[in-house]
Amino acid sequence: MHTASAPGKVYLFGEHAVVYGEPAIPCAVERRATVTVEGRDDGRLRVDAKDLQIEGFTVEYGATDSGPAVDVSDSLLEAATKYVDGAIEQARDAADAPDAGFDVEVESDIPLGAGLGSSAAVVVATIAAATAELGVDLDAREVADRAYQVELDVQDGQASRADTFCSAMGGAVRVEGDDCRTLSTPDLPFVIGYDGGSGDTGKLVAGVRDLRDRYDFAADTVAAIGDLVREGERLLEQAGEDGGEPDEEALEELGGLMDFDHGLLEALGVSARSLDDMVWTARESGALGAKLTGAGGGGCIVALDPTDGTETALTYESSCEQVFRAELATEGVRIE
């Protein structure tokens, strides 16, 4: 039996634009998916989803079955099976063990579909645990690459490497197409607000694609997000040269860029009233900057605030179901 965990993430800058080859900067946060894998001799796969911020359930099926016979919604079934299926196939491929069977137990404190990289964390942790169970030692970059292939398949070719690379490597990372690298960055005072819902990632991505194809100004907005990311990268690396806490001036400038990025994402139609309400509550309570994180349409915002102001204010915001401070996860995927 082997157990692995991987962190979720927030986008400091660059969601949606990263799909079109622009850079993005996601940061891993200490909310983790934990996957335990134990081999079995019959070649079947048993998935026990104990806590994915959904009703827990267990399904069992094999390669010759048409799929698990369970009466749940398609989105719920996908959360429990498609990503795990793909991760297990990647582990089998890495170990050259196509008939290996597994009991898989998934636990997570990352809300599903909220923009915090829940699927990427589950896939990364599953690949790491299953390959370890099969006696194969993969480094974090190979885990990230294999996890990306899973997301690419499940998301019909619309995934980027950002979520899976960040979850595997930890810390702050820069992703531009296939060019992925870690960044030197200081500690950042993240506060996350969650509206209790989630957006339809596929629909939101398709909506941006349609706007970009129809209007030059929408394409220019996507390019502007890329330019903003490059400026944010410069600030982060400058602030991270000495490590530790960033100076107030650098934080304020980063926060201003976050505000700008949220405005660009709003213009692309991917925000929501609940997200905007939380963003404005955070700003009015003293946050240095605040924006949606992830695909949008519902889910989470991320704010920069070294004080208790944003966290306190969001507890009284009607659009916010949950608020928490999240530390930068300096360690990515790990065997527990």
**Residue 55 pLDDT more than 50?**
no
- The answer to pTM > 0.75 is yes
**Residue 251 pLDDT more than 90?**
no
pLDDT value at position 56? 40
pLDDT value at position 59? 45
Q: Which one has a higher pLDDT value, 24 or 77?
A: 24
What is the largest distance, in Å, between two alpha-carbon atoms of the chain? Answer: 60
Report residue 100 as tokens: 């290996």
pLDDT band at 300 (very low <50, low <70, confident <90, very high): very high
Q: From residue 140, give the alpha-carbon distance in Å to each of 114, 124, 332, 333.
A: 24, 9, 8, 7
Contact yes or no for 196/55 (Cβ under 8 A): no
Question: What is the crossing angle of helices 118-133 and 162-169, to 10°?
Answer: 60
**Residue 246 pLDDT more than 90?**
no
Burial class (CB in 10 A: 0-12, 13-18, 19+), 74: exposed
**Residue 214 pLDDT more than 80?**
yes
122: left (phi over 0), alpha (psi -120 to 50) or beta: alpha
Q: What is the pLDDT of residues 64-77, one digit of tens each?
A: 444 444 444 455 45
Task: Please state, in angstroms and rounded to a whole number, the distance separating the CA atoms of residues 225 and 94.
Answer: 37
Active site residues: 163
115: left (phi over 0), alpha (psi -120 to 50) or beta: left
Work out the percent of the chain whose per-residue pLDDT is above 90.
Answer: 65
Average the pLDDT over 142-159 and give the result. 87
Partners of 290 in the beta sheet?
303
**Residue 335 pLDDT more than 50?**
yes
pLDDT value at position 50? 62
Q: Which one has a higher pLDDT value, 243 or 49?
A: 49
pLDDT band at 199 (very low <50, low <70, confident <90, very high): confident
pLDDT value at position 47? 83
Mean pLDDT computed over every residue of the chain: 87
pLDDT value at position 111? 77
Q: Which one has a higher pLDDT value, 72 or 47?
A: 47
Token pair 């394409």 in the structure block, residue? 219
Task: Please state, in angstroms and rounded to a whole number, the distance separating the CA atoms of residues 30 and 6.
Answer: 9
Domain annotation for the chain: domains and CATH numbers = 2-184 (3.30.230.10), 190-326 (3.30.70.890)
Contact yes or no for 43/63 (Cβ under 8 A): yes
Q: What amino acid is encoded at 308 in this protein?
A: D
Question: What is the crossing angle of helices 248-267 and 216-240, to 10°?
Answer: 160
Residue 11: name the closest of 151, 174, 218, 222 by CA.
174
Q: Which one has a higher pLDDT value, 62 or 156?
A: 156
Cβ neighbours of 159 (radius 10 Å): 23
Task: Please state, in angstroms and rounded to a whole number, the distance separating the CA atoms of residues 173 and 162.
Answer: 8
Q: What is the pLDDT of residues 77-125, one digit of tens each?
A: 554 578 889 999 999 999 999 999 999 988 888 877 777 888 899 999 9
pLDDT value at position 243? 57
170: left (phi over 0), alpha (psi -120 to 50) or beta: left
